[in-house]
Structure 1
Amino acid sequence: MPYVRHWLRNSVLLFATAIVLGLIAAHTQLIQPHDLDLDRTIQTNTRTGWLNTTMKLVSYCASPVAGVIILAVWCGWLLFLRRRPITACATFLVVAVGWNSTQIAKAIVARNRPPREFSLDPEIGSNSFPSGHTAFTVAVAVAVYFLFRNSRHRRTVAVLGVLAVLLVAFSRMYIGAHYPTDTFGSVLVAGSAIFFVTGVWHAWLLPNLDRLPLLHRFGLEEERAELEAAQGHGYGAPVPGPGRRRTGAAPASGGGRHRRR
């Protein structure tokens, strides 16, 4: 997981921006009519039988049930098969926190969903802003990019991640579950949560992973040694371990180099 400078400030600013946007959209007429018009334009001009099925499938792939399964399988593979507990913990935190941060924003904004008569798949929950499906996709895309950020595939991964987020966001508007500002707001909320996670990870969580005895069984020291060896060849700054002081440079996790931004 890379180190982000001014992570707390960036996190608060992004979250505040998202909340202001949500409150304006939910409780004034500045955005709401335009949101509804765009939703209806998408639904009127693009809905057809095969695309209805496809968009429902896309939406299901980012649903809460699918999200839990994807996260469990992914982190389980990293922990049990790849034996990379640091990477598994970092990935879990990025996805879980980035995804579930939407619940805080939903409670604050309390925006009603689009009219149910236009929905292909009515939602159980009533709070519309922001989109949890889109936030999950954002968090997954960022977590995957973190894993590939030092490889030659990082640009491809970034492009595919953006396309995945756009596809899920479109599917949520297409089936009538969200407004456009809901999907945009989810990018802001998930982004703010991920900024926060990167800061907490380097300030407190990563140096204290050694306090979890279970992780030692899955290769904690081995992965830490690999990271330190890679950093010794110019791929990053030291990873703090037990009884070890952090240097002025920021620590890295998940392998490879990280750069202060």
Structure 2
Amino acid sequence: MPHVRRWPYVAVLVFLATIALGLVAAHTSLIQPHELAADRAIQTDTRTGWLNTVMLGVSDVASPVSGLAILALWCGWLLLVRHRPVQAVSTFLVVAVGWNASEIGKLIVARNRPPALYSLDPEIGSNSFPSGHVAFIVSAAAAAYFLARGTRWQRPAGLAGFAVVALVAFSRLYIGAHYPTDVLGSVLISGAAIVCLTGVWHAWLLPRLHLVPYLARFGPVSGSAVAADGERRPEPAG
């Protein structure tokens, strides 16, 4: 994971700004009418039969059930196949912390879903802000980028992560499950949570990782095999 300077201040400020955005969007008329108009424009101008199927499929891939399966398989591969316990733990924490931060936002903001009249997959309840689907994909993209840092895959991972986040965010607007500020809020609140995690990781978690029972059986958790920031050193070419 990267070192983020002044991480407590950055994390708290971004989190509070995100919650403020959500409360204004949910409980005033300053933003919501414009967002509803934007949703309607997307749904009426771009919907076609084949694209409906694609967007519903994209949304399903980032759903809670699929997200849990992806996270389990990813961390299991890092731990059992690649024998990189530090990376397995850090990947799990980045995704879990960033993803679950959206649940905190949902509880505080309690924003109702967009009207179901134009929705392809109606969802009801006061859990619209922020989007959990987008929060998962933002967190997964961040975890993949962290794993690729310092290797030739760093730039491709960053570009691919940006593209996938944009695709999932658009899918949630396209099917009528969220407002634009819901997907923006996911990026912000997950980012704030991950920034906070990076500080805790370097200050407290990584130096104590060797104390976790049985973790060292899967691979090195300290010493020269692990970089100073807890990441894999770039592998030599060839």
Q: TM-score, normalised by structure 2?
A: 0.95
Secondary structure in 2 aligned to 1:217? helix
Shift of 1:66: 0.3
Deviations 1:126-157 (A, max 9, x none): 31000010111110111111111111221221
> Could you say which residue in structure 1 is the equivalent of 2:168?
168
Amino acid at match of 2:55: M
Q: Which residue of 2 aligns with 1:36?
A: 36
Displacement after TM superposition at 1:124 (Å): 5.3
Segments of structure 2 that go 5 or more residues without pairing to the other structure are none
Confirm whether residue 256 of structure 1 aligns to residue 226 of structure 2. Answer: no
**Residues 176-204 of structure 1, C-alpha deviation per residue, up to 9 Å, x if partnerless?**
00000000010000000000110111111
How far has the Cα of 1:123 moved from its partner? 2.2
Where does residue 90 of structure 2 map in the other structure?
A: 90
Deviation at 1:227, TM superposition (A): 2.3
CA contact under 8 A between 1:22 and 1:129: conserved in structure 2? Answer: yes
Give the match's secondary structure for 1:225. coil
Amino acid at match of 2:198: T
Q: Tell me, what secondary structure is at the counterpart of 1:226?
A: coil
Aligned position for 2:196: 196
- In structure 1, the residue matched to 2:142 is 142
1:194 partner amino acid: I
- Asked if 1 retains the 8 angstrom alpha-carbon contact of 2:113 and 2:128, the reply is yes
Alignment of 1:4-43 (within 5 A): 4-43=4-43
Distance in 2, matches of 1:66 and 1:4, equals 30
Alignment match, 1:66: 66
1:47 matched to 2:53? The reply is: no
Give, in whole Å, the separation in 2 of the partners of 1:224 and 1:58: 41
**Could you list the per-position Cα deviations for residues 39-88 of structure 1 after superposition, in whole angstroms to 9, with x for gaps in the alignment?**
00000001111000000000000000000000000000000111110000
Shift of 1:256: 3.4
| CA distance in 2: counterparts of 1:62 and 1:85, whole angstroms | 25
Q: Which secondary structure does the structure 1 equivalent of 2:73 belong to? A: helix
Alpha-carbon distance between aligned partners in 2 of 1:255 and 1:13, rounded to the nearest angstrom: 31
For the Cα contact (< 8 Å) 2:113–2:124, is it kept in 1? no
Per-residue displacement from partner, 1:81-130 (whole Å, max 9, x unpaired)? 11110000000000010001100011111100000111101125531000
**Partner residue, 1:219:** 219
Displacement of 1:170 = 0.3
Secondary structure class of the residue paired with 2:233: coil
Aligned to 2:112: 112
Q: For 2:169, give the aligned amino acid.
A: A
CA distance 1:118–1:48, change in 2 (3 Å)? same
**Quick check: 1:26–1:111 contact (8 Å CA) kept in 2?**
yes
Number of residue equivalences: 234
Q: Is this contact kept in 2: 1:2–1:253, CA < 8 A?
A: no
Counterpart of 1:184?
Answer: 184
Query: Percent identity over the alignment?
Result: 61
**Counterpart in the other structure of 2:209:** 209
Moved over 3 A (4+): none
Q: TM-score, normalised by structure 1?
A: 0.87
Contact (CA 8 Å) 1:144, 1:157: kept in 2 or not? yes
Tell me which amino acid in the other structure corresponds to 2:86.
I
What does 1:237-252 correspond to in 2, within 5 Å? 239=228, 252=229
Give the 3-state SS of the residue equivalent to 2:214 in structure 1. Answer: helix
C-alpha contact (below 8 Å) 1:2/1:146 kept by paired residues: yes
RMSD, matched Cα = 1.3
SS at 1:213 equivalent: coil
Deviation at 1:224, TM superposition (A): 3.9
- 2:4 and 2:99 mapped to 1: Cα distance? 19
- State the 1:220 CA deviation: 2.8
Once residues 224 and 84 of structure 1 are traced to their aligned partners in structure 2, the CA distance between those partners, rounded to angstroms, is 13
Tell me the SS of whatever aligns to 2:16.
helix
Is 140-149 or 35-44 further displaced after alignment?
140-149
